[in-house]
Structure 1
Amino acid sequence: MALALLAPALLGVAPGGSGETISLAGNEPGQRLDVTLTQVVDPASPATGPTAETEPETEPESAPAPTPQPDGSDRLVAVRFRLENTGTAVYQDSPAPAAHLLDTTGQRFTGLNLPTTAGTNFPDTVTLDPGGTAEGFVTFRIPEDAGPAAVQFALNTGLGDDVGQWSLP
């Protein structure tokens, strides 16, 4: 277990605890965000019906396929982030795939843009001018018996070299 969680630290991960702000650089000049993990909801319940954070459907055939609901073998975990653009460039990215949850066995789960009753999730794309802020949830689907150990976030849709990591209790 320790080796699985140590591996990201060897790759330049900035450690942090829930509530701690980590400053992350992107791969392009002027890209910098202060990222704070502010809340973890485990388990999270899927939202049902229209929600404020989803776009209205214009035509049924243009609606995305529904994400299957947890079936008892898995559960949802919702993690709330606060993003502040502290760089000089406009931040435009997708927060859900930029976030990953690690369980106690080292398995890694990519964030989803799945609404839950925990609160408003991020839109598919967040655009922040320098000095701008945004808050929202990223959802993870994990096995029912998995133990969440850490959450990671990186700019550039999760491909940035600078990775923030928060340990979970």
Structure 2
Amino acid sequence: MIRGSEGAATPRGRGRGHAPLRLRAALASLAFTVPVLLGAGPGGSGETIPLAGQEPGERLDVTLTQVVDPASPAGPAEAAATKVDDRLVAVRFRLENTGTAVYQDSPAASAHLLDTAGQRFAGLNTATTAGASFPDTVTLDPGGTAEGFVTFELPRDAGLAAVQFALNGGLADDVGQWSLS
């Protein structure tokens, strides 16, 4: 399901087997054709979207709280790793484990940024001056919370359209989406 600011949920059909890559491509194009699913402003909405994972008891409330565009690399190593014609965008999330299972996942792998040209960018653990990044793996007991930034590298002139988050390294069927335009 994709959940947006209006809390709308759109079920996705399931056939035999799983086709996550095709499904992800369809979701990326859907983001630009169904505006009712979009919801946050460019600074971060503060909107919380409840998301389920693939295993029983995996549930998170995910809140997009801040977008820093552009974000400055935290040090020389991060600056050297950024392509010359690219920029960094840092997105801050708050995660709350509302399920009954322990959440153990990589927020960077769970997040994607969509630009206005329809390109999709994977989250990175690149440190920026925006604030503390999530560690490579976050572990939250039921009721636990964590906050941190996920960084994206995209072309300097790319327009921001939306941010997506899904549990299980971005592979869960339940996808939260916040509009950035």
TM-score normalised by length of structure 1: 0.81
- 1:120 maps to a residue whose letter is A
Deviation of 1:95 (Å) = 0.4
Aligned position for 1:46: 73
1:107 and 2:119 correspond: yes
Q: Which protein has the bigger helix share?
A: 2
User: Per the alignment, do residues 26 and 9 of structure 1 end up closer, same or farther by CA in structure 2, a change over 3 Å counting?
Assistant: farther
Q: Which runs of 5+ in 1 are unaligned?
A: 50-64
**For the structure 1 residues 14 and 89, does the alpha-carbon distance in structure 2 shift closer, same or farther, using more than 3 Å as the test?**
farther
Counterpart code for 2:124: L
Identity %: 74
Measured in 1, the distance between the counterparts of 2:83 and 2:141 equals 40
- Would the aligned equivalents of 2:60 and 2:97 in 1 still touch at CA under 8 Å? yes
Q: How does 1:16-27 map to 2 (within 5 A)?
A: 16-17=39-40, 18-27=45-54
- One-letter amino acid of the structure 2 residue matched with residue 118 of structure 1: A
> Helix, strand or coil: the match of 2:169?
coil
Letter in 1 for 2:111: A
For structure 2, which runs of at least 5 residues remain unmatched after alignment? 1-25
Distance (whole Å) between structure 1 residues aligned to residue 69 and residue 87 of structure 2: 8
- Could you give the per-residue CA deviations for residues 90-138 of structure 1, whole angstroms, max 9, x where no partner exists? 0000000100000001100000000000000000000000000000000
SS at match of 2:121: strand
Q: Which amino acid aligns with 2:85?
A: S
Q: Paired residue for 1:98, among 91, 107, 110?
A: 110
TM-superposed deviation, 1:67: 7.5
- CA deviation after TM superposition for structure 1 residue 8, in Å: 4.6
The offset of 1:70, in angstroms, is: 3.0
- Are residues 66 and 161 of structure 1, via their aligned partners in 2, closer, same or farther at CA, if it must alter by over 3 Å? same
SS state at 2:61 partner: strand
Match of 1:126 in 2: 138
> Contact between 1:20 and 1:36, CA under 8 Å: does it hold in 2?
yes
For this pair of structures, how many residues does the alignment match? 151
Report matched runs for 1:24-39 at 5 Å.
24-39=51-66
Q: Judging changes above 3 Å, is the alpha-carbon distance between structure 1 residues 143 and 164 closer, same or farther for their aligned structure 2 residues?
A: same
Post-superposition CA distance 1:30-72 (Å, at most 9, x none): 00000000000000000017xxxxxxxxxxxxxxx96844344
Higher relative contact order (CA 8 A, sep 6+): 1
Query: Which SS does the other structure have where 2:109 is aligned?
Result: helix
Q: Does 1:166 align with 2:165?
A: no
TM-score (ref. length: structure 2): 0.76
Q: 2:89 aligns to what?
A: 77
Q: Pick the aligned partner of 1:151 from 154, 159, 163.
A: 163
- Counterpart Cα distance in 1 of 2:95 and 2:39: 15
* 1:43 partner amino acid: P
Any idea what SS the aligned residue of 1:46 has? coil
Match of 1:7 in 2: 30
Secondary structure (helix, strand or coil) at the match of 2:170 reads coil
